[in-house]
Structure 1
Amino acid sequence: MSKTISDIDYREVIEYSLDPLIIHTDFKILYINGAAEKFFRAKKEEVIGASPLDIFKETSKSAIRKRIQSAYQQPAEVIEETIYRMDGTTVVVELYCHPVMIGNTKAIQTYVRDLSEKKEAEKRHQEMKKQVNELSITLVPLLSGIAVLPLAGSVDEERARQLLELVPGKVQEQNVSCLIIDFTGIYQLDNVVTDYLFKINRVLSLLGVCSIITGLRPDLAIVATSLNIDLGSTPTLSTVKDALYSLGVRYEEEEH
């Protein structure tokens, strides 16, 4: 006799799933599979009958309640949430739930995916990126009290924010009284990044440090103007050499 899809043992299917699965209805857990037992560090009998809301932080429960109620009609979108295990530890997970019939009862099946490794990898990547960015933020000393900050390559919002955070401290550490901010190596900036970069100039001014901007092309100047950034109070010259000349630095070939 041929088998049909209705002959499949549903409980056996979810029990062998590698993802933690929770079946619940009317805010009571009916069943969890073996993967969920292991993940939540709890026995089935400790969980069955409890509310699925118990694993969530108080601040999330109201939104999760609404989400569960709407999932009886159609699958809910995948979301990220921080939840509690039975031992009190927290973990960031991805949640997906959809309606399912258990006999004549309409229930919700929720998939739980542990994002711990993914989040840890993202954290390591961000820390490495931050370290690389910090290494690329170098003030090049030229003469006593004078240094240049060469900006080059792609500057995104994160790197621009780090420049704003780190440059003032580096200026004070190196006893810089005049900083030349050279835009020669920058070829494209959006409004947000441009705003961050010119904030450096304003912060340095508050610290009593003179700033000179060099290498600012017309298109970048237009972006700055569109942000109502006042360039009139900051010397703006074509090259670092011009900036040094304006500071009274003369090259030997010009003196002879």
Structure 2
Amino acid sequence: MNEDITNIDYRQIMEFSLDPLIIHTNLQIIDVNHVAERFFRATKENIIGASPLDIFQETSKVAIEKRIQSAYQQPAKVIEETIFRMDGTLVEVELYCHPVQIGNTKAIQTYVKDITERKESEKKQKEILKEINDLSATLVPILKGIAVLPLIGSIDEDRARQLLENVPEKVKNQDVEYLIIDFSGIYTLDSIVAEYLFKITNVLSLLGVRSIITGLRPQLALAALQLDYKIESLSTMSTVKDALYSLGINQK
């Protein structure tokens, strides 16, 4: 091992790190901390001397080599990559590297952070959100050709966009002629989301489907006016019951 690396103070700093650290120069690893040994499932002796490019997939190596070379001048941005451990298993990590001066050697210090759990959590959250969004675009059939789309809870831009994409297809598949879009479960709405929601009525109109908006609160009506939507051009009712009555359905 390079005797400069055996400097006690520097070794202590490396070992204090909770994340794996790799020190390399000229595409050759010259030191790692104990956390890196455990992470890569190999001894220091097996890691030192190897190329830092060895842990990367072939499709990433060219870009990573350029990144390493530029890091001699200034710290590189944090990136996410899938890399190999020494036993061949793949792991998703966050990488950050910056130049260091060790004695007379100019090297790169790379931090490797395991983000497997975070990625799994993000994946589960996306799956849950997708399920919620799918449910939020559920059309409730009332009678043949008539359905209700109840909008409930907080609607962000992503959810509004999905509604705009999914509702017309569901309306077509369910042979809906009249769709009651009920806003009574929505309390706040920003202008971007409001624009998506009101666009649904335009799209449905092109499909020959008549939309009836119910439960439109004063602040939501104001949002529509700010978007230059003419409320009077929309078919609106106070409640779903009123909308059904207007379609000739009497509820006792």
Band of TM-score, shorter chain: 0.7 to 0.9
Secondary structure of 1:162 counterpart: helix
Partner of 1:153: 153
Q: Does 1:211 align with 2:211?
A: yes
Asked if the contact 1:16/1:34 (under 8 Å) is kept, the reply is: no
Secondary structure of 1:249 counterpart: coil
Partner of 1:113: 113
Partner of 2:79: 80
**Identity, % of aligned positions:** 56
Deviation at 1:153? 2.0
Q: Does 1:220 align with 2:220?
A: yes
> Over residues 76-101 of structure 1, what are the superposed CA-to-partner deviations in whole Å (9 max), with x where a residue is unaligned?
66x23214326776543222334433
Asked if the contact 2:53/2:61 (under 8 Å) is kept, the reply is: no
Q: Does 1:29 align with 2:29?
A: yes
Report how many residues are paired: 243
Deviation at 1:145? 1.3
Deviation at 1:201? 2.1
> Over residues 67-121 of structure 1, what are the superposed CA-to-partner deviations in whole Å (9 max), with x where a residue is unaligned?
51344xxx666x2321432677654322233443322323222110111121012
2:67 equivalent among 34, 40, 64:
64
Amino acid of the residue matched to residue 245 of structure 2?
Y
Partner of 2:200: 200
Asked if the contact 1:100/1:106 (under 8 Å) is kept, the reply is: yes
Structure 1 residues 7 and 39, CA gap change in structure 2 (3 angstroms): closer
Partner of 1:50: 51
Question: In 1, Cα distance between the equivalents of 2:176 and 2:116?
Answer: 44
Amino acid of the residue matched to residue 56 of structure 2?
I
Question: In 2, Cα distance between the equivalents of 1:88 and 1:8?
Answer: 32
Secondary structure of 2:80 counterpart: strand
Amino acid of the residue matched to residue 81 of structure 1?
E
Deviation at 1:212? 1.3
Q: Does 1:123 align with 2:126?
A: no
Which sits farther off after the overlay, 100-109 or 11-20?
A: 11-20
Asked if the contact 1:216/1:238 (under 8 Å) is kept, the reply is: yes
Question: In 2, Cα distance between the equivalents of 1:59 and 1:200?
Answer: 46
Amino acid of the residue matched to residue 80 of structure 2?
E
Question: In 2, Cα distance between the equivalents of 1:222 and 1:63?
Answer: 53
Deviation at 1:235? 1.5
Alignment of 1:162-201 (within 5 A): 162-201=162-201
Amino acid of the residue matched to residue 112 of structure 2?
V
Structure 1 residue ranges without an equivalent (≥5): 1-5
Asked if the contact 2:82/2:91 (under 8 Å) is kept, the reply is: yes
- Over the aligned positions, Cα root-mean-square deviation in angstroms equals 3.5
Partner of 2:3: none
Structure 1 residues 59 and 164, CA gap change in structure 2 (3 angstroms): farther
Question: In 1, Cα distance between the equivalents of 2:11 and 2:158?
Answer: 48
Which sits farther off after the overlay, 53-62 or 79-88?
A: 53-62
Structure 2 residue ranges without an equivalent (≥5): 1-5
Partner of 1:3: none
Question: In 1, Cα distance between the equivalents of 2:251 and 2:172?
Answer: 27
Deviation at 1:233? 4.7
Question: In 2, Cα distance between the equivalents of 1:63 and 1:197?
Answer: 46
Question: In 1, Cα distance between the equivalents of 2:62 and 2:243?
Answer: 55
Amino acid of the residue matched to residue 31 of structure 1?
D
Which sits farther off after the overlay, 56-65 or 241-250?
A: 56-65
Asked if the contact 1:53/1:65 (under 8 Å) is kept, the reply is: no
Q: Does 1:134 align with 2:134?
A: yes
